[in-house]
Amino acid sequence: MKKDLAILGTRGIPARHGGFETFAERLALYLVKQGWRVTVYCQADTAENLCEIDEWKGVRRVTISTNAPGAWGTMAFDFKAVRHVIEARPDVVLTLGYNTAVFSSCLRLSGINNIFNMDGLEWQRIKWSAPAKVWLWLNERIGCLVGNHLIADHPSIADHLATRVSRKKITTIVYGADRATRDRQHSVLSKYDLAGVPYGILIARPEAENSILEIVTAFSQRRRQAKLMVLGSYNGQQNAYHRRVLDAASEEVIFPGAIYDHAAVSALRANARFYLHGHQVGGTNPSLVEALGAGCAVIAHNNRFNRWVAGDSARFFSTVEECNACISELLADDELVDRLSAASLKRFEEEFQWSKILVDYERLLEKYARRYPKYAVQPGRAEGVMPEGDEM
């Protein structure tokens, strides 16, 4: 009999939005090959009240609509998905992120084992209002309480979670990426006149906590005879921070917008002279891992998260002046770029390959997969016995 997993917390597969969606796709396809029955809950932004079930590459998808905007729509989707899971009663649930962990308390009460990937320290992010930070902080606490087990994607996240729950309730499994190779003939290089031109690349959401203004300011302080590619959607007419970034940029900074072609982004990353990573908050960031897998020389914001992921061989900055110095150093020193590139690949091969990460996830999920008939009394509860896998 196939083991049955439900994946909650993403916008769905195939991946089109971010790191969690990419991970959900990779894990689901891997587990299907291992004989699991996997269901991924997908969000549809439509006014129709629908709940559709289909199959994609052997993965069962439950698509649920919401017609509320932004965060309200995500909350409505998460609530509906939890209700559907309670009726379906899979062997185990994997919830990616804790933003609506309060709804997952229903899974605990229903006796369904739920493993939380706790993501980063969402409530510390600059972009959130005070009420949003309170909501996220409370849901982090709730997720720690109601989850049967917690996954941290970074040792520092595990240390933080250990202030909330016992260490035995936490497993550290990092994020992965594919090894990328250089293709100097890729059409995207010609499209942006980058063939044969040294350039750096920055791939991040345009938010203050990602140090984009500092990086663009640092690059634009002098004539570089090089380019800086800043990927992402910038609307200077409606967003004040976006306007500040655009105004700080020299003519050598290119804003191509958001690029959703994975092959094009991979080619831009792999052919860059260096990758700039300004994230100040979080655990193992997918963009940084992908840069390591592409063999990029890395310049990263100096914090405990980035230092562990990139390793000591990368270059780190805390100020605009330090970022400027790092950029100048890497543009001037070919031998240093080669050395940092080799260090990135070594670090990637040590920690961040999917082959190991997916096996680690399957082993953990197998431990918490619980067999019981649908709509049965929760195992062990009638006798007052705590079922195997429950941890506080």
Query: Looking only at Cα atoms, what is the longest distance across the chain?
Result: 74
Peptide bond into 14 cis (omega under 30): yes
- What pLDDT is stored for residue 371 in this prediction? 58
Contact partners, residue 278, CB within 8 Å, separation at least 6: 202, 204, 210, 211, 212, 214, 215, 300, 301
In the prediction, which pLDDT does 379 show?
A: 38
Three-class SS of residue 231?
strand
Question: How many angstroms separate the CA atoms of 94 and 115, rounded?
Answer: 5
**Cα 52 from chain centroid (whole Å):** 26
pLDDT at res. 126:
76
Tell me which DSSP letter residue 164 carries: T
Q: How many CA atoms lie within 13 A of 373 on its CB side?
A: 3
Q: What is the pLDDT of residue 178?
A: 87
- Is 367 in a helix, a strand, or coil? helix
pLDDT tens column, 191-238: 999 988 999 999 999 999 999 999 999 999 999 999 999 999 999 888
Q: Per-residue DSSP letters for 271-283?
A: T-SEEEE---S-S
> What residue type is assigned to position 209 of the chain?
E
β-bridge mates for residue 63, sequence order: 42, 52
pLDDT at 307: 96
For residue 384, the model assigns a pLDDT of 30
The H-or-E segment that residue 230 falls in is strand 227-231
The low-confidence residues of the chain, meaning pLDDT below 50, are 373-389
pLDDT, tens digit, 9 for 90 and up, residues 265-290: 999 999 999 999 999 988 899 999 99
Q: Which residues are within 8 A (CB) of 319 and not within 5 positions of it... i.e. 6 or more apart?
A: 214
User: Which pLDDT belongs to residue 20?
Assistant: 86
- Read off the DSSP letter of residue 120: S
CB count within 10 Å of CB 377 equals 10
Sheet with strand 297-301: strands edge to edge: 253-257, 227-231, 199-203, 274-277, 297-301, 315-317
Cβ(6)–Cβ(41) below 8 Å: yes
Q: Domains in the chain and their CATH numbers?
A: 4-176+354-368 (3.40.50.2000), 187-351 (3.40.50.2000)
